[in-house]
Structure 1
Amino acid sequence: MNPMRVIKAVSTSRKVVSPFQYYTEINEAIYCLVFSDHRAVARLFLHYDAEHRLLARALVSDNPGEAEALYGELAPEERSLNQYEHVSADFQDLLLEMHLASCNDSARLYDKDELRALLAMYPRPPIIVGGCGRSGTTLLLSILGSHPSIYAIPGEAYAFYPKPFRLQRLLHILSELHEQLPPLRWCEKTPKNVRAFGDILAAFKDNVRLIHIVRDGRDVVTSVHPYHPGMYWVSTERWIADVMAGLKYEKNALLVRYEDLILDTEKTLRRICDYIAEHFDPRMLDFQLHTSVQQDVAWEQETVKPLHKSRIGKWRSGEHDEVVQEFMKNPQAVSLMRRLNYL
């Protein structure tokens, strides 16, 4: 049967999609196929990358089993979505709807065959980094990417958040890598991974290593965009929510303070290596010379620079006193700062 209605959203530029801090590709597309007959009423979401490779599916229905059957009845030619007339929609709206559809059915959060393929290709536990934006996630990824046994995936894959998992994106990246290099262990960093730690643990079981990086909230909320000096990147509320999301899994994720990474680099890296069961390699101290990570997707600038203490305590400059004062008025923020030994 044909869908009664097809809704299509295409990203026409690189932009940030809130509330996920998701960076789109040009021509990335989401379709929503609306089905209805006597068996089921359903909406099927299909997310494609810029090369029209399927990244993820999500289904919401009053009868999920029958809805899957409806989709299965589509002939291959009927699955060519461009043949259908469609209603245009906003990419942000459909991404949010797809996320909410997946939240309603955690059993359909990821394709088990895709996960098996990923683990078969790279059987060693992957390293997944998360944390509030502007807390050092890219720096940590760059350092890990200088280890000879680890391949750090450049940029942000958004493989685990927003929902559902986009494991096909990882498979596309790692399949190409597998043909070029020996089967290294992979590491992925998307700040919002911190919101998906529970789902990641449920999917990978013990076969994953999670790292939660945190930074003094005063430095985080006073971080401004280099191309928009008046634009603060992270709100107090976002810092609180992301930090709390990560701390919820503190027994399952290694907590790393950005400041420790800068001020006591070798000791901190040895602790990380112990956790991920890798030997410490001195090249990690000169990571900028060896890493596969060259650019921060959020800032679109070179990021591989030596560590410098000036990155710590920049909030003390007085330039952003009002922002710092507002941050410190928030009792949740103060409580978390104490818990993380910043106060």
Structure 2
Amino acid sequence: MIIKYRVVHRVSIKEALVIYSRFFFRKLEDLFASPVITDKKALLVAGCGHSGTTLLAAKLGNHPNIFAVGRETEFLLPDKNSLVTASKLLSEWVYCAEYLGKEYVLEKTPKHIYFIDRAGVIAPNHKVLVTIRNPLDNVASLFKRFGDLDLAIERWVNDNHIVAGIAGSGNVYVVRYEDLTAAPEATFISLFEFIGDSFDPSILEEGKTAYDSAVLKGNMVVRRDQVKSRIRVNNGAWRKVLDEEQALYVWRRVSVVAQALGYHGLEDCYFPTDDESNGCS
């Protein structure tokens, strides 16, 4: 069975029954949820995995006005928490922000893109910061992690189909990975205009991030170490993972959603090397 908001979306029937039973009881409890009353703003970073969500959140968390939760809490996922519990978690983070003199609470869970409506119940003044990445690089990175090309393609299509649907919302800001890595300062200046605060160039400096203070496991251990560094261009890395035939196969599978996100042709995924000109040929 397919449950799209799971990290690995293919699940057994037994797993699906457990997940849906939890979902049912959490939804009943949701009826008793109420918003967190605060002047602090919630910033939710989400998007397809391996599209730059950790990088974006780590650098944002370096800002003096932002309190960053240094792990993926999944607090909005309905089989993990009811909105009553999610509200209590958010209240604790707000308390930390108030204690530290911060104006914003920042949390990053990629799969929250499926549950932005739940955020609106408990955090009416929230904003969603979504990352997107060209499909060849993004799928190749997922393929390296999971070892299944079709699963990687499915995840990219599923997650980014949701992104394309919410991109026009007034409280959603979309960050292209290619812009984030090629022109980080300009990208963050524009992003902070959307947030309503001033850009601080010190956030881009190399050093510790909020993710250093949490106990992490799996893929996040790798990401924690990577995002300490200065941002660098990493476009075209798919060439080390996919051959030309696989690249064409990926594009055929993702093209409809890719074009909706502004990746209008396969050439948008072909980044030139030192001995190569622009274009697909």
Normalised-by-shorter TM-score class: 0.7 to 0.9
The equivalent residue for 2:209 is: 291
Task: Report if aligned partners of 1:125, 1:185 keep a CA contact under 8 Å in 2.
Answer: yes
Q: CA deviation at 1:178?
A: 5.2
The equivalent residue for 2:176 is: 257
Deviations 1:104-125 (A, max 9, x none): x6xx536434x33xx33xx222
Secondary structure of the residue aligned to 1:293 is helix
Q: CA deviation at 1:230?
A: 4.0
Of 192, 213, 231, which residue of structure 2 is paired with 1:307? Answer: 231
- 1:279 equivalent in alignment to 2:198: yes
The equivalent residue for 2:239 is: 316
Higher RCO structure (Cα 8 Å, ≥6 apart): 2
Inter-partner Cα distance in structure 1 for 2:121 and 2:99: 31
Larger radius of gyration: 1
The equivalent residue for 1:84 is: none
Superposition TM-score, scaled by structure 2 size: 0.74
The equivalent residue for 1:94 is: 18
- 1:340 equivalent in alignment to 2:266: no
Task: Report if aligned partners of 1:129, 1:212 keep a CA contact under 8 Å in 2.
Answer: yes
The size of the alignment, in residue pairs, is 247
Inter-partner Cα distance in structure 2 for 1:274 and 1:175: 22
Q: Percent identity?
A: 23
The equivalent residue for 2:276 is: none
Superposition TM-score, scaled by structure 1 size: 0.62
Superposed, which structure 2 residues align to 1:137-148 within 5 Å? 137-148=53-64
Inter-partner Cα distance in structure 1 for 2:78 and 2:156: 18
The equivalent residue for 1:248 is: 165
Q: Structure 1 residues 335 and 283, CA, compared in 2 at 3 Å: closer, same or farther?
A: same
Q: Which structure 1 residue ranges, 4+ long, deviate > 6 Å from structure 2?
A: none
Inter-partner Cα distance in structure 1 for 2:167 and 2:98: 36
Of 217, 222, 231, which residue of structure 1 is paired with 2:135? Answer: 217
Inter-partner Cα distance in structure 2 for 1:336 and 1:178: 37
Pairwise CA RMSD: 3.2
Task: Report if aligned partners of 2:94, 2:105 keep a CA contact under 8 Å in 1.
Answer: no
Q: Structure 1 residues 169 and 112, CA, compared in 2 at 3 Å: closer, same or farther?
A: closer
Q: CA deviation at 1:199?
A: 2.9
Secondary structure of the residue aligned to 2:166 is coil
Q: CA deviation at 1:175?
A: 6.7
Task: Report if aligned partners of 2:173, 2:194 keep a CA contact under 8 Å in 1.
Answer: yes
Secondary structure of the residue aligned to 1:246 is helix
Task: Report if aligned partners of 2:47, 2:159 keep a CA contact under 8 Å in 1.
Answer: yes
- 1:185 equivalent in alignment to 2:104: yes
Task: Report if aligned partners of 2:68, 2:105 keep a CA contact under 8 Å in 1.
Answer: yes
Amino acid at match of 2:68: A
Inter-partner Cα distance in structure 2 for 1:20 and 1:338: 22
Deviations 1:115-153 (A, max 9, x none): 33xx33xx2221011101111110000011010000111
Q: Structure 1 residues 233 and 159, CA, compared in 2 at 3 Å: closer, same or farther?
A: farther
Inter-partner Cα distance in structure 2 for 1:223 and 1:151: 29
Gaps of 5+ in 1: 1-17, 24-89
Task: Report if aligned partners of 2:137, 2:237 keep a CA contact under 8 Å in 1.
Answer: yes
Inter-partner Cα distance in structure 2 for 1:334 and 1:169: 41
Inter-partner Cα distance in structure 1 for 2:203 and 2:114: 28
- 1:153 equivalent in alignment to 2:59: no
Deviations 1:42-81 (A, max 9, x none): xxxxxxxxxxxxxxxxxxxxxxxxxxxxxxxxxxxxxxxx
Q: Structure 1 residues 203 and 91, CA, compared in 2 at 3 Å: closer, same or farther?
A: same
Q: CA deviation at 1:291?
A: 2.8
Secondary structure of the residue aligned to 1:329 is helix
